[in-house]
Structure 1
């Protein structure tokens, strides 16, 4: 008989209550034995028993495995575990490498990294100009930059944070560093004559630089501003939304904008502080934070996530498991949002709810996105939201700080409640943009059903939007009054005429729109086939006149074809094209069979250097390229940009690269004879090899967990390897996930497929895995669950049975290229079937689609022989806005008459 569980005793602590509830969860599941639970959870019986023992807090992965084995919902247990873990987390050591919720101070200068170039800019500006104005969005790190970056870099500087009476505060600060003065004496002098500040500095500290933080708080204190701007060396930091006020005050100093940290800068800000105290950060944590926060004003969120990970460190390592237990940026945001919302009154909560909903947009495909808007609300509420790091205030307005805010549970509920109003509002915003782009043409105003729905938005509307609705209402009223007068005359003259006319007016209008729209779409399609310009202009006319699904499809395609990126000059016809993971570089085959690197911009390509003679690119990653010479020997290169190619080393003899991690840190391949793609190889002497590129000139072989898998894939950071082994006897493929470190550990339960697996593809964030079957070329998309079994979310089939090349975007979309067919589907984690967003034939061919997050589009190989890339944007509203902004949307009068005769012109912007 198995020994019974140790009684918990009184559940008078949170930990004991947690353990007791785990036991009750097991009872509700029929009280399976721990041996049976172990079989379901892929953990040992002892570990599961200890999890419900109440002596220590189990790991998050073990807790969720226990919950899933009892067939319960893991979401509430995740939230509860994190709340309990926060109580049991280690206190923050004084020598912790990250400041957490506080900005960096002067004593933190030795661990302040990533802003070196910006500090140099400011120091040079101080030497050249009396006044330097630092402009940065909220959350851009202005306070840290002044205290930990600029002050230590200057020979003599003092940081001033004015509050209340700024002159008195300045006097108190300077009295501490000036000899033989008192705050009262200095304050009286400064009030009497602002020029006394300059004289005092000349008398006591001629080289002193004043660093003024939060300068926007005192812009209205004219005496302080006047005194400050007469000093020889001043740096003021201003929040970006107050930039215009600075210009109004005549502050004409050298302006420097604090841009978001790039990926490399953010990587240094993460790793260098830890390295200073002998700690390390696992690559998976770095990759996740860089992917989440690079080029965004999210530094405070990164610092808080790192601090929470530090509390859960393993030895001196900030591990991926500790990061996941802390919840990353998403948990930081959720906790801050809950605390902020709970601190508000009922009126404050209603106002905050309105702010959150105004800062999102719901696209046609249902995807929720952040948006930047100027809000006419109480400034104090915006300041509080910015201080809580939930809203970022920029020169263009307010925006939610991070996509993680969109996943805050309260906000997701509000979005579901207001989804219809949000869609209506998104349409209204687009209409206003088009109205203004058309010089406020009255024909672009709202009327009819659209106007009635817009009037119902109420508090959703800003002053600017309400003005548009009011103008539309007045115009509608004038039109209605005129129509009533005409109807009265017609009724008196010809009874029944008006009723008949009104009954047929809508039908005639619909027929007219359908005919004109169809003609415009046909013209656009013909121009695309002939590869002639203006296809997108005609497609836009067709879409505006008759906005059907087919018209939207043609608009997207015409826009992609018009914006096509050609490789002019030397490339051969039908050349191979490989694009780097972020879409910034491409390798294209020249006419002599040698590959050349090209630099890609939004709509153009610039040629760079070539590889060695007859070298062809096999794999292209971030800063790493694998080429193959005419003798089939593979070689490793460093590629920093299209004109910076460095040969590193040959790869082992007979080595064939199967995959390279997108960050270029690891390569997996096979040594042996060539195999037919998609079919199991019978070569028993063949073996797989994994190479670490930490020292790229001397790749280091790592042990493989499986000797010779048929299919392999590396995660974004090279820290996880997926392998597929085919068993001919059973007809099954076993997919296993391995965490690569000093040893191999399973990263998730194995996945058994009753087919041969042709290919595996990770998403950049590791949340999705695409599994392609052979020979049917069916693609299954599995959601990765931390330490849990993958969950099937989509099955993508096609009439084409050729190999599929799969790419994921960073917003839950998957793109598949089969021969010349390109399709994109939206994935869901709720069990809802994936939605097909795009299905286009004639595009694809020799490369997989590449998602460009900076432009929010997919790069796809054109279907012709010429090596051309099509930037495929799925957001029709963004396409129209771009065309109208560039004045590339309107057909000329001659073009219109030639295509449509004397039909009244349709204004598209």
Structure 2
């Protein structure tokens, strides 16, 4: 939808001059709208509008498309574009004392300041220890400390795991930086063993979020148990020294205001040092004479945006082909996190094809290149650049396919291109599908492997075709022989059926792949394709795809507008939705069934587009803001017969926004004329007041719930708060560091009236505390949008904030804590700018309106966003199915209600200490009691009212932290295991006064992280990460007795079958009746008869062709066994015949390792959680899932869709 453009000063710089001349060219062409230009140029209207805004030089492809659509001279404009780029570029200063995103090296020791105290501490540790661990968050400065601090003062050798498969032969000091890389490498065990056995001093640098990985290697953990140096945030004095001293050393000065601003922006921010260093380097590039100024700092984007700006500018200066190559390069250079943040990946140059793009990005200091390798300069780029974060979010599953393809290609080469190593079946289909979606993503080795796999598949197919042809010939011959006519007929029918079945199966598998690609754009069609594939074939892959349908948010499309949609909102009762568009219509939709909106009435809303709508509080009137300058009021008491009842004029130019007061008697409007107007509409509309509000167009207004305070957002860059009764200004908010360069598009009040959200055209979303409206205080800033934020909306329950922007995305933010806003999900299915977001009154749906003409309704029931901040380790279900509990590394235990097949958070158990770390949780089998263990203490909680947990006791304790816990089946005993290897037994008959009845020490040094009772509560089974399962007779708790341990590495029928050799450490153990199941790290699992715990007998092995099994759970009736896996999946087996378990389902939805699984009492509902921080609920009943698809989408595929996806197959009913 067109927007009036801000004036440009052509003398402000070469980019502004270029944009100014583009606008002149458009004027000469008759001033066509950007939408019309988009149709001619095949670029979106928002992309073309951005090219003429003067904020950045557009890519050459976009600039020439703009010129071509306006009939300009492309050759002349290409010269102009290149000249502008040269004028705008500045030569980097070779004498900069700041290193930017690179770590300080030994050669930079003379400009490394602020860490003197920490360097001294590290050197002191080395005087008394041979192995020292330097640990800290990403961006805390570990690498710089090791190189410019330690190695500049003490001789030694520096390596990283990705560049050294084995350790160098040196007896001197060895520094292993970026040690976290080792956990993603196949040779990690050998490397760590060699490291722990070497002689000489060793210093290891590692990210703190990988600390838990070291516990898997006891020798490693023991080596640095008492020798650790924590790299924390710099103090204010240290930060000031790091900022100012390098400039002083080269004779330069910093403005006092700049130093103060840098310290203020950096204080309290995690991982901020690379941002500070890069912002200083960018400020240096813009310094005035010999002084670094605050103005230059703001121009760089400051700490918050300097890295993102540099990366974005480097990217947008590439042409379209090179941008596609750049995306592939960055995706190759990132390792997706597994319960940790994403990390950079060290890659050989031979793996990357686009040398000129690599060099370009290296020149921009975003990549670091040496003779034979490439890596991202710092992980801060991954965290800070929204475009890269979006790529990673969109491509996680594709990245996994790509990583497996890379490994398979290498394995194929290593085995002399053995045909047996080639892809076939589903892996080939996945890799081919991904490669077709990402042209140019494959390197030469991968392309060769995939080509060979395709050729082999085609050869197999040709053989199969010849076989089928021969069969048909035989059938024809037999048919000609009368003596065997009957036999021939049977044979022909069988052959024909087989051929038909194979064809239908192939089409079904292709439809499933197509459904995955359609999920963001048309999830209804995607669900129907999955259901059709299952109905046609019943294939396991179709079943799994159908069961996984609701792991993603479900969208409904309301189609009816013929041009760009501009606005959509719900009536206050939620039963009707209204939408407006550039086609000059307003449509009222029946929303009684949110999955099937139907048109009720259509209104001609004027002679120009409608920008904004508002329902009166009683829902009987709707107001429209017209670009023709008219406000129209419609009586929609009967939405099937809407009637225009008033027109209000007074604004000069376009009306931008309208809103009713809570009593419905007053209407507020804002416009292009920079004013806010207040109208009395209780009778004939009369103007009450005109407020000369801003220096530019007033784009958005919002009234607080009490109806007393009004917020306005303007293109002059400011947001203002007004006293509605008097029309006087209360305060002004500048929602950006440099408000003069920013336009504000949106402002909206939180339902509590104490928080205001603002959105600006730089993509920022900010929250403000306006408890005192005279002194607004910024609470948080959220980045991610790459273009203007046009619309904001809080959910009525106050949990979410939705933002929509010109980058075509909708972002939903968790604002439960407005100081710590987290992205819940980013929706990218739209193809053009988004103008409006709104929630339904019950907060269960969200509607968006965009320039691609679509009104989309998102069902928030399946919004599986990260409720926890870090990995969720365990999950325990109430045996009556009313709630379940989760425990996470973020220090919280949360209670959940399974509501309509999704998890509804009930409460968070109170923390025992601010920085507490929670360890384990379990739920009592009969009573509303939850046990939670943390570093600060262990508590039995009364959760009879789950919304208000009450502490019962803290008596349970041991000599160390408790890693595992389980209630006995009779509910009288609680077994707890300490990380020291001691297991304690407590009588909890009186939960307010637990009594310790016994304890025993497990004869290994491993942490006991899981304990399980047998059905009779007389035996305790233990998993502790060793290669054995231990069983203890606890019939006399005061004198526990060990049974012989069950070894997993000397079994006559190896448990490693199909797994990874040598990875027999037990990860999980569960029991139902007399059957015990366990899983190990080598991908394998087994079932044992433990009716005699002293002599367990193997029953069967769990078939698993995927990743290692992390956690197991039996269904209450013992017929199903579920496992969370390391490859992000949930596998479910039918174990009614324990000697022959059958894979029943594979569920897709989690994006990282799955650590928690638990069944509900109904045996069909499964709750899961893991490293992606989400909590999900699954329905394992295929027919129930099919019925839900039928209820939430169209009950059948259209004839056109059926013929497209299933050609030659007779359509059949799906529901």
Higher strand proportion (structure 1 or 2): 2
Tell me, yes or no, whether TM beats 0.5. no
Measured against the shorter chain, the TM-score band is 0.3 to 0.5
TM-score by length of 2: 0.34
TM-score by length of 1: 0.43
Higher relative contact order (CA 8 A, sep 6+): 1
